[in-house]
Amino acid sequence: MLHSLLLIAFALSACTSARLSNDEARKRIAAIGRSSLIPDAIQIQRIVSQTETQAIAESTVALAFQFTRDNANAEWKIAAVRLGDRDWIDMDELRAAIDEGRRRSTAASMQKLADGIANYRTRNGSLPGARDIITLTNVLHPAYMTDLVREDGWGQPIAYEVTGAAFRLVSNGADGRPGTPDDVVIQSGSAAP
């Protein structure tokens, strides 16, 4: 993790040229850190994919990592990370921010599934007769929902459960374990904490 390979998607509407150049990609990545020292710490390996409106740049970004351990015999752990001359970012806070973004994205994706289920129910008078997310989305997509949603923000399958006339969509959250406080649940179209 000392040199991170980042895949960055860019909306080219913010760029002035028709194609994304390595220099433009480096400048845009450096703008994330708002530091004058950062541009030298970014190496663009290649522009992997590019369309009229999106591009992916593979890059190596030099980061500084602060390590700590409880005592001389304990295992080292990463306590903070820094890009360029910016302030140190606590790793627990960074992970929490990433997980919160994934939680919001998961809730929005699950709401799309719930809306697709509602559309199906309106047309057919019942819930889809599916036992898992693959079967469910095979029924719903594309007739009842435009986006294909099968996984949560952590790359795990979303669970679909039917009890009588009610359904539940469940993501096991950041910890990947069912029944814990970080689970994301939508029941019969209503988000639950």
Determine the average pLDDT of the residues in 112-140: 96
Tell the CATH topology of 98-192. Glycoprotein, Type 4 Pilin (3.30.700)
For residue 157, what are its two tokens?
Answer: 């399958």
Q: If residue 49 lies in a helix (H) or strand (E), which one and from where to where?
A: strand 42-50
Please write the tens of the pLDDT for every residue from 98-113: 999 999 999 999 999 9
Contact 159, 169 (CB under 8 A): yes
pLDDT of 97 higher than 90: yes
Domain boundaries, the chain: 3-64, 98-192
The sign of the dihedral angle between the CA atoms of 86, 90, 93, 99 is positive
Q: Distances from the Cα of 134 to the Cαs of 131, 139, 140, 183, in angstroms?
A: 9, 9, 10, 20
Please write the tens of the pLDDT for every residue from 11-58: 333 444 578 888 888 888 877 766 665 667 788 899 988 888 889 999
| CA dist., res. 39 & res. 24, Å (int) | 11
| CA dist., res. 33 & res. 14, Å (int) | 17
